[in-house]
Amino acid sequence: MTTKLYAPESTGLLFIDPYNDFLSEGGKLFPRLKGTIEANNVLDHLRQIVAAARGAGIRLFVVPHHKSEPNDFATWKHPTPYQLGAAKLQIFEKGSWGAEWHPDFAPKDGDVVIKEHWAQNGFANTDLDHQLKQHGIARVILIGMVANTCVESTGRYAMELGYHVTLVTDATAAFEPAMLHAAHVFNAPTFAHAIVTTAELLAAL
């Protein structure tokens, strides 16, 4: 990799779901993610990547999940088990602390906050593709939560739309080590053009 690969005018950093419920002690899903977060030093890596990207002039796009409300899926024909589970627990409950940004990752001036996705793909039913195109983005770097769901789904669709996709393996987490392993070792090579560590990405930036 060279610096040209991540030219700031054509590169976007996609930070997926930087919510307290995922990333903060006391978050509803943090206990399930804590093992892989701590094993891979994910929070520090996220801080390093965000700082480096901003320092390099790379725009940050926050790609958030839908904030839960009690009757979200009451009339849906085909909610998934994950969606029903999230509704029961009220993950990212609208108006709650859990649905606020992790304090280290709140958007700043110049960042773009994308419309909320309902399931896993940050492009589906949102303005992500439109915003990337309007900002001249051809290459995306993926970080955030969760590796085998929203990160993978968003990266896979980015590839389908013609974007160059970089996945940062130690800047994401999963509920189980096996899920993280499958997402990175077996699934990522089917859609990601570059699969890197935080150290490798920082060197390239």
Rounded mean pLDDT, 30-50: 98
pLDDT surpassing 90 at residue 4: no
Rounded mean pLDDT, 10-31: 98
High-pLDDT (> 70) share of the chain, %: 99
Contact status, residue 62 vs residue 17, Cβ threshold 8 Å: no
pLDDT surpassing 60 at residue 158: yes
pTM for this predicted structure:
0.96
Q: What angle is formed at CA 188 by the lines to CA 187 and CA 191, rounded to 5 degrees?
A: 105
The CA distances from residue 188 to 41, 147, 192, 193, 205, in Å, are 20, 10, 5, 9, 21
Measured CA to CA, the distance from residue 169 to residue 122 in angstroms comes to: 18
pLDDT surpassing 90 at residue 168: yes
Average pLDDT of the chain to the nearest whole number: 96
Class of the CATH-defined domain 3-204: alpha beta
The confidence score (pLDDT) of residue 5 equals 86
Contact status, residue 143 vs residue 16, Cβ threshold 8 Å: yes
The confidence score (pLDDT) of residue 1 equals 42
Ranges of each domain in the chain = 3-204
The confidence score (pLDDT) of residue 51 equals 98
Which tokens hold the place of 125? 């039913």
Measured CA to CA, the distance from residue 151 to residue 173 in angstroms comes to: 10
The confidence score (pLDDT) of residue 3 equals 47
* pLDDT tens digits for range 86-137: 999 999 999 999 999 999 999 999 999 999 999 999 999 999 999 999 999 9
The confidence score (pLDDT) of residue 2 equals 42
Rounded mean pLDDT, 171-198: 98
Rounded mean pLDDT, 145-173: 98
